[in-house]
Amino acid sequence: MTSWIPDPLHPAVVHFPIALSVLVPLLALLVLFALARSFVPERAWAVVVLAQALLVGSAWLAHDTGHDEEERVERVVDEHYIEQHGEAANWMLWLGVGALALVAAGLLPGRAGRIARIAGAASTLIVLTAAVRVGHLGGKLVYEHGAASAYIHPAQPDGVDASPAEPPK
């Protein structure tokens, strides 16, 4: 019986925080514009808070699943590259949490809420830059360092995955 959960799970979930890191700043700017023009009430900012919370949740899931896959990928990729990607993912996750706090403070009434909304929108751009770095390093793991080969080569009789073939030059 085939499971509906992909194996490995990490490559299937990493696209959510990357996509959300692009969409949340756009959404924040759109809602800021709509608020400035009085097209929507201040409570509309809750949509941005929800989107940022989804980003943080999906980043945590991507981070957790990546950590689960680390040992297997270390068999074919130098640990340095994996650690670099993992550290970038940690930064993105914690920057996302900080941005969530600022974005959530945008629900406050009055001047404090207005300032927090602007700061929160700016912080989502910082999260976007962190996401670009995480995605770039993850892409390098797969396309330059052969991380996917940890999953496409059959296991040897002793249970150790076969070494990846040398890439063509």
Question: How large is the average pLDDT for residues 136-149?
Answer: 91
Two structure tokens written together for 161:
């995955």
CB 63, CB 90: distance < 8 Å:
yes
Q: Which residue has the tokens 């207005």?
A: 114
Mean pLDDT of the chain: 90
Residue 84 has pLDDT above 90, yes or no: yes
Question: Domain-by-domain residue ranges, the chain?
Answer: 10-149
pLDDT band (50, 70, 90) for residue 71: confident
The whole-model pTM stands at 0.85
